[in-house]
């Protein structure tokens, strides 16, 4: 049996104040991890309680890297300041006063919600899609780049150097840092971005930055979303879709099928379009899978040119002729065997075998007739 427990009230710590400026200006651009970390820091500060990076990670089921990244995000926004010891271990977090942005110039009297007239009919306005504001690219110091490479960016910098086959210079490292921290790309999305650039023979980091900004504007957060977006702008994939009579934008599955033909199987557009033509002539349904079967059969037969296709066609037609000839001979044999079924094994062709058969010696009969 459990012992007696004491229940205590502590009403003075029942709430945590959050600035309206934070809600109006900072909350919209922050991701889930960043919001949770900041609000929890406010909670701990209001209760005068200590915390740590491991505690924050356990609390919200994030990695410690996610927590450190969130702390540095708020430090850049000026909402907190971080202190480290000589070994670069985090020792203190200071919550700073929140100051409104200079471009957040709404007058106080304009912040109320205005009621619409009840008499005049209101035609709803067509709202244009709102695009994200592109964060400015900071001028990172050498110390910041070094810290990024040694902490959060260690893995992604290593991957970048593997993709591009060389160490990154400070400008290139700044681009990776910017995409990672300001555009909020995950390591997985940044990995796919670099793979996308290399696959398209674009080793220019300015190109990579432009693609990253475009994906950020499109609200792309995962490699899956990025792949679908890249399929839409791939001229070869769009041309193949049209050749199969498919006018829709390629889905992830459709784009993956076609990418495999170009990449994994290594076919040229000429060979793929030939397979598309044969598919369209053969079927109206499941054209993608039908075409995939043709191309994989060609790949197994080492087809690389139209001459190889002609060779396979000739071999296929020869096999069909042999099968037809064999089928014809087999049909004749079956007919002969069917006819022979009416002939007894002793050579008698009399089908009325139920009667007793008489046997005569015609030589003796002829002698008897001559003697008479």
Domain assignment present for 333: no
Q: What is the pLDDT of residues 227-270, one digit of tens each?
A: 998 888 888 999 999 999 998 888 888 998 898 998 889 999 99
CATH number of residue 191's parent domain: 1.10.10
Distance CA 25, CA 30 (A): 10
Task: Read off the CATH number of the domain in which 57 is found.
Answer: 1.10.10.10
Structural domain includes residue 134: no
Residue 168 in any domain: the answer is yes
Q: Is residue 48 part of a domain?
A: yes
The Cα-based distances of 240 to 160, 237, 243, 252 in angstroms read: 32, 5, 5, 15
Q: Is 245 helix (H, G, I), strand (E, B) or coil?
A: coil
Dist. CA 42–CA 47, nearest whole Å: 9
In a domain, residue 118? The reply is no
Range of the domain at 40: 17-98
Q: 3-state class of 335 per DSSP?
A: helix
Out of 230, 247, 280, pick the residue that ends a domain.
230
The pLDDT assigned to 78 comes to: 82
pLDDT digits (tens, 9 = 90+) for 284-306: 888 999 999 999 999 999 999 99
One domain, residues 151 and 207: yes
Q: Is residue 125 in some structural domain?
A: no
> Same structural domain for residues 223 and 244?
no
Residues 174 and 247 in one domain: no
- What does the CA dihedral 338, 344, 349, 350 come to, rounded to 10 degrees? -110
Q: What is the pLDDT of residue 199?
A: 83
Same-domain status, 177 and 217: yes
Largest CA distance in the chain: 154
Domain boundary among 76, 98, 120: 98
**Cβ contact 148:177 at 8 Å:** yes
> Residue 267: is it exposed, middle or buried by C-beta count within 10 angstroms (0-12/13-18/19+)?
buried
DSSP-derived secondary structure for 165-204: TSPPPHHHHHHHHHHHHTS---HHHHHHHHHHHHHTT---
Average pLDDT over residues 94-99: 77
Number of domains in the chain: 3
Find the mean pLDDT for residues 147-153: 89
Bridge partners, residue 93, by sequence: 82
pLDDT tens, residue by residue, 198-237: 888 888 899 999 999 999 988 899 999 999 988 888 889 9
Give the end of a domain, one of 65, 98, 131: 98
Instruction: Evaluate whether residue 78 is within a structural domain.
Output: yes
């Amino acid at each position: 049996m459990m012992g007696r427990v004491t229940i205590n009230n502590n009403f003075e710590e029942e709430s945590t104040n959050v600035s309206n400026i934070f809600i109006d200006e900072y909350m919209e651009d922050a991701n889930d991890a960043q919001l949770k970390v900041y609000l929890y820091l406010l909670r701990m500060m209001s209760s005068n309680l200590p915390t740590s990076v491991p505690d924050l990670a356990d609390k919200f089921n994030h990695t410690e890297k996610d927590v450190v990244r969130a702390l540095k995000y708020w430090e850049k926004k000026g909402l907190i300041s971080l202190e480290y010891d000589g070994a670069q271990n985090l020792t203190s977090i200071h919550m700073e006063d929140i100051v409104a942005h200079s471009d957040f110039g709404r007058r106080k009297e304009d912040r109320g919600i205005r009621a619409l007239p009840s008499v005049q009919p209101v035609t709803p306005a067509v709202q244009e899609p709102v695009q994200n504001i592109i964060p400015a690219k900071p001028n990172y110091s050498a110390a910041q780049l070094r810290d990024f490479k040694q902490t959060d960016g260690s893995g992604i910098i290593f991957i970048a150097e593997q993709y591009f086959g060389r160490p990154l210079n400070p400008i290139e490292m700044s681009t990776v840092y910017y995409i990672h921290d300001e555009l909020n790309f995950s390591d997985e999305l940044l990995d796919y971005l670099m793979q996308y650039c290399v696959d398209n023979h674009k080793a220019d980091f300015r190109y990579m930055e432009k693609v990253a900004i475009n994906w950020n504007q499109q609200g792309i957060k995962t490699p899956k979303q990025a792949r679908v977006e890249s399929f839409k702008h791939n001229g070869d994939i769009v041309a193949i879709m049209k050749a199969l009579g498919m006018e829709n934008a390629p889905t992830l599955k459709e784009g993956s099928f076609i990418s495999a033909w170009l990449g994994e199987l290594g076919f040229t557009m000429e060979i793929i379009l030939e397979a598309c033509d044969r598919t369209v002539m053969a079927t109206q349904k499941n054209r993608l899978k039908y075409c995939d079967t043709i191309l994989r059969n060609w790949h197994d037969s080492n087809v690389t040119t139209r001459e190889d296709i002609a060779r396979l066609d000739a071999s296929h037609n020869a096999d069909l002729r042999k099968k037809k000839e064999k089928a014809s001979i087999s049909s004749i044999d079956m007919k002969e065997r069917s006819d022979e079924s009416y002939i007894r094994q002793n050579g008698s062709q009399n089908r009325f075998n139920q009667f007793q058969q008489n046997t005569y010696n015609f030589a003796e009969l002829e002698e008897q007739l001559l003697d008479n």
